[in-house]
Structure 1
Amino acid sequence: MWNKHPKALPYLFLSEMWERFGYYLMIGIFTLYLKDVEAGYAMTEKEASDLYGTFIALVFLTPFIGGLVADRYLGYRKSIVIGGLLMGVGYFLMGFHSLTMLYTAMTLVIVGNGFFKPNISTLLGNFYNDAQYKDKKDEGYNIFYMGINVGAFICNFFGAAFKILFGWKYAFMAAGVGMFIGVVIFLLGTKHYGDKTDKKGTQPGDMPFYKIVLFILLPSVVFGIIGWMIKGVASDANPDSYIFGSDSTDAFIFACIPVILFYASLYFRAKPDEKRPIGALLAIFGVVILFWAVFKLNGSALNNWGDKYTDRQLEGKSQQIASKLILVDTLTYKKDSVALYDEAFRIQKADGKVIKTYDYPLYFRNVHKEKLPEDGSKVYTWSANLSQSINPGWVIILTPLVVAFFTFLRQRQKEPTTPTKIAFGLLISALSVLVMVAAVQAGSNGAEKVGVWWLVANYGVITIGELFLSPMGLSIVSKLSPTKITSLMMGGWFLATSIGNKLSGVLASMWDSYTNKADFFWVNFGLLMFATLLMFALLKQLNKVMAEKGIR
């Protein structure tokens, strides 16, 4: 496989694999940690989902500036190393139980990802711009994407083991170690990078950096502050008079406005031969926002589903094997303490202070009465964060099949264009949501736990859609972007991801407001079908632009 691709690919593959090991290990335990009453921050589902959504949104917003700085000033090698080191330190700090330390750690991860993420993707594309590799770009990004998911698959087993053995702190530190390994592997491949990591410098017609600070970054900060402070109309449903659901959401959406206007200005200021490709990319960016909004529920709503609504009990051989691998949580059932609360704690007031007291393991809330254990007995469950490995596991299994499928079509001159792949990716992703609608019905709207196979099936379908869309998005940015702003446009792809991620947090924070949980998933289905129809409507024009550039 490797001999038909650039020699740098294995190093970039392994660097990204270990970087994603750290990131997804952290994401897999993040909301579980925030909601942990005893060792975490005892946040409600809404509070944890809102912070999660804001965090992953900002993680993918900073690539906008990180790509620009790499293009003009630092080059790709320095930017990737700096980003990796910042993220590694951030993971180490995240486990120290202090809100100040938590927010400091989150900031380091957000800034570090801005330097790392767009630039390693752009660097990969630079190698496939050479004539001998040009027709293998989509395949190269698919292989690269599999590296992402190898890291995302194995990390949750380490996260579960470290959390069970040593606690949350050391699980986060394991993420940091993974990130540092990724940096070392990247540096080992330096001899294969040649001049591909060099900065492009400021090009004629580029906006000076001080103008970017004055007209984009500074306005974003100002708009964000306005969004945080401004209030909407108060009502019974919105007593705090938020505009979009919370102060952080309001601030984020307002802060995005100057950045979105900047990307729109790239189209209007572009040269005639660059205008249509940039316009095509901006259209795709707009459509895929809704994909990410639903897909990124894996770390919030679907993580919650795996934690509270999935039967995770282990018995017999499976329990023995999981115990040896240190992947088992031990819960004690106490009949007298069981009460049907929506959360794992009760809020009480004493002397003017709010005290959150732990009542019982929430796992037992919706176990069928006939399946409840004897009073005082122990129950063994696989660690909830392991459900986060289902999606990357499917990616590892399905990527070779998808690559082979498109290779088969390419050899017969029938391979669909990259925009067409994205359109079908959206459609397949929409169909995956119907699996969760059925899961809700099977569990009598959450009154009873359901088997893990519902999550496996959901992730299996959406993974096919993901493989049609996500690596293709990276590929099309590399194909269509004007050379001087490739990293900047890659930052635009991650800006769309960022907005989708925040919308994902908003959706997840509404989970408790849906009496019928199926309605939550029907909303997600509607969003993806809208995006699908929009993408198919744009397809003719997008394919025309691709043809004009002589690419597929």
Structure 2
Amino acid sequence: MTERTIGKQPRQLYLLFFAEMWERFSFYGMKALLIAYMVTELKFDEPKSYGILGAYSALVYTMPMLGGMLADRFLGYRRAVIYGGILMTIGHLVLALPQEWSFFYGMAFIICGNGFFKPNISSLVGTLYEENDPRRDSGFSLFYMGINIGAALGGLLCGYVGQRINWHYGFGLAGIFMVLGLIVFAIGQKSLGHRGLPPNLTALKKRTAGITNEQLIYVASLLIIPVVVALFNRHEIMDYFMAVLGAVAITYVLWEAFRMEAAARNKLIAALFMIVFSILFWAFYEQNAGSLNLFAMRNVDMHVMGTELPALSVNNFLPPGWVVIMSFFFAWLWTWLAKRKMEPATPVKFGFAFVLMAIGFLVFYLACLNAESGLISLFAFAMGYMFIIAGELCLSPIGLSMVTKLSPVRMVAVMMGIWFFASAGGEFLAGKIGKMMSVPEAVQNNAVASLPYYATILKEIAIASAIAGALILLLSPLVKKWMGEVK
């Protein structure tokens, strides 16, 4: 029996599209507020704020490694998604409480919930396609568009409510939409059929000391929350934490790879190559959630036709907004090129991603050179983001697809977790880069004086991104060879 499709894509893609869209509304809506909330409301100094933001962002993308592994071996994708959604809902609602303790605890719940939700809903998308299905990359591009519709709306609305009305109302709005995403998935999951069910129900229900393995997973994940809060209060030790986890992740992948026959081993090494390079991409890209938030507030002219737009809303709307606009083009482009046997290999797409990002940051830097008033134009700010997001579309949805294509079936979710851990490493490095752009309190309200703190680092990011892109393109024939028959 032929499976029903909508617009040539499996109909279940649209269930996952909407569930992820509303979850990303909540996630990015909350994230849009963090750095500004810490600096303006909690009165943390900028280096401390960047350190906490880096720790949060790193942990929120580290937990998917654990969540992916537990889903692969015990829970299955669907139970992991629902449990993760419940934890994230609790986290958003805790953040909405105007209490001193709620900030770190709310973020800790979101971190643990995201670990279960994020890798497993992406892995579910991969189950919709057979091996070498030409619709896979375009399907992931459409799924990625759903992520960014949610992110655009969340950044716009939560950013406005938080900055202009009340910070905690902004956090609460994010929680409402997290509930909506959870409801969409819970109601529609039956359409997935056998996909995402527990791989071994007997192992999941096995009891030890009167408690099933499933219950043990839930209890253990809750015990992680106070540990995460402790890490926030000692965020300096994240340097060692990330280094150890990174070494463990790479060692694990290589250990698994060298237990396989040559073709499978080479595919896994190809995936690892692109995952490692993605760390640098996210370190540059994630300035949008940190330093570029404050840059937008201080050094971008937000006036349009005599009206001053809220900087947080604009900065957090532009990246996902551009993704939504350009996703249709890229989804069409990859399919059009594939039909003509002209589609670039995945590593070539990764190289293009860095080159486009370099152009985007160069636009920011050139705008700074011409900002005599200390304010760059909103047009230049938007154009810089356009190139950066074109780069993102050559890497992020392609990376999601790449992981599902190159990983052995038994390792898909854990490799998806490692893909997100690379994002964690990038987010952590993004906090380090953001610290380099910290503006002394004495000149934070002086646009001319604050601009040079940003301009120099923006130029250096452009140069580093261009070098990385050139290196990846140079090595792409070798990586393509490792990929074997995978297209």
Q: Fold match, TM over 0.5?
A: yes
Matches within 5 A, 1:462-541: 462-512=388-438, 517-541=454-478
Q: Summarize the alignment of residues 387-466 of structure 1 with structure 2, pairs less than 5 Å apart.
A: 387-444=315-372, 448-466=374-392
Q: Tell me the equivalent position of 1:57.
A: 58
Whole-angstrom CA distance in 1 between matches of 2:23 and 2:200: 27
User: How far is the alpha carbon of 1:468 from its aligned partner?
Assistant: 0.9
Give the superposition deviation at 1:192: 1.5
For residue 130 of structure 1, report the CA deviation from its aligned partner. Answer: 6.3
Q: Is the 8 A contact 1:287 1:534 kept in 2?
A: no
- With over 3 angstroms needed to count, the CA separation of the structure-2 counterparts of 1:529 and 1:161, relative to structure 1, is closer
**CA-to-aligned-CA distance 1:432-476 (integer Å, 9 cap, x gap):** 1101111221224xx621221122011100111111111000011
Cα 1:397/1:498, change in 2 over 3 Å:
same
Distance 2:477 2:160 in 1: 50
User: What do the CA deviations read for 1:295-350 (whole angstroms, capped 9, x no partner)?
Assistant: 0110111111111111224665xx3xxxxxxxxxxxxxxxxxxxxxxxxxxxxxxx
For 1:485 and 1:255, the matched residues in 2 are separated by 18
CA distance in structure 1 between the partners assigned to 2:351 and 2:105 by the alignment: 39
Name the counterpart of 2:16.
12
CA deviations on 1:46-87 (whole Å, 9 max, x unpaired) are 221111111111110011010010011011111001111111
1:193-219 C-alpha deviation (Å, 9 max, x unpaired): 0111123349xxxxxx9xxx9xxx9xx
In structure 2, relative to structure 1, the CA distance for the partners of 1:430 and 1:166 (3 Å cut) is closer
Count of residues in Structure 1 that have an aligned counterpart in Structure 2: 450
Aligned to 2:31: 27
For the pair 1:304 / 2:294, whether they are aligned, the reply is yes
> Partner residue of 1:46?
47
> 2-side partners of 1:48 and 1:73: how far apart?
37
Contact in 1 for aligned 2:362/2:458 (Cα 8 Å): yes
Structure 1 residue aligned with 2:279:
289
Structure richer in helix, relative to its length: 2
2:207 corresponds in structure 1 to none
Identity %: 30
Q: Cα distance, 1:120 vs. partner? A: 0.5
Q: How far, CA to CA, are the matches of 2:248 and 2:478 in structure 1?
A: 27
Alignment of 1:146-545 (within 5 A): 146-163=145-162, 166-201=165-200, 246-313=236-303, 316=306, 319=307, 381-444=309-372, 448-512=374-438, 517-545=454-482
* TM-score, normalised by the number of residues in structure 1: 0.76
- Give the distance between the partners of 1:516 and 1:162, measured in 2 at CA: 29
TM-score calculated relative to the size of structure 2: 0.86
Contact 1:56 1:501 (C-alpha < 8 Å) held by counterparts: yes
SS in 1 for 2:17: helix
Which residue of 2 is the match for residue 118 of structure 1?
119
Amino acid at match of 1:500: G
Q: 1:180 to 1:27 in 2, by over 3 A?
A: same
Deviation at 1:7? 1.5
Structure 1: which amino acid aligns with 2:339? Q
CA positional deviation for 1:141: 0.2
CA contact (8 A) 1:228 1:250 kept: no
| Aligned residues: CA RMSD | 2.8
Q: Which residue of 1 aligns with 2:128?
A: 127
For the Cα contact (< 8 Å) 2:353–2:392, is it kept in 1? yes
How far apart are the structure 2 equivalents of 1:153 and 1:199? 33
Identify unmatched segments of 5+ residues in structure 1.
203-208, 231-244, 320-379
Q: Partners of 2:123 and 2:476 in 1: how far apart?
A: 25
| TM-aligned CA distance change 1:29 to 1:181, over 3 Å | same
SS in 1 for 2:42: coil
The answer to whether the 8 Å contact 2:135/2:335 transfers is no
Question: What stretches of structure 2 of length at least 5 have no aligned partner?
Answer: 202-212, 440-449
Q: Deviations over 1:348-404 (max 9, x none)?
A: xxxxxxxxxxxxxxxxxxxxxxxxxxxxxxxx5534333210111111111111222
SS in 1 for 2:112: helix
- Provide the C-alpha distance between the structure 1 equivalents of 2:333 and 2:370, rounded to a whole number of angstroms: 34
Moved more, 461-470 or 151-160: 151-160
Give the secondary structure class of the aligned counterpart of 1:61. helix
Cα 1:409/1:170, change in 2 over 3 Å? same
- 1:307 partner letter: M
Distance in 2 between residues matched to 1:454 and 1:120, nearest whole Å: 36
Shift, 1:416, TM fit: 1.5
What residue number does 2:210 align with? Answer: none
Question: Measured at CA, do residues 229 and 253 of structure 1 come closer, stay the same or move farther in structure 2, by a change above 3 Å?
Answer: farther
Amino acid paired to 1:434: L
Change (3 A) 1:298 1:165: closer
2:195 aligns to what SS in structure 1?
helix
Tell me the distance in 1 between the aligned counterparts of 2:139 and 2:363. 31
- 1:100: how far off? 2.6
Runs of 4+ in 1 over 6 A off after TM superposition: 227-230
> Which moves more between the two structures, 193-202 or 276-285?
193-202
Counterpart of 2:442 in structure 1 is: none
Whole-angstrom CA distance in 2 between matches of 1:145 and 1:155: 15
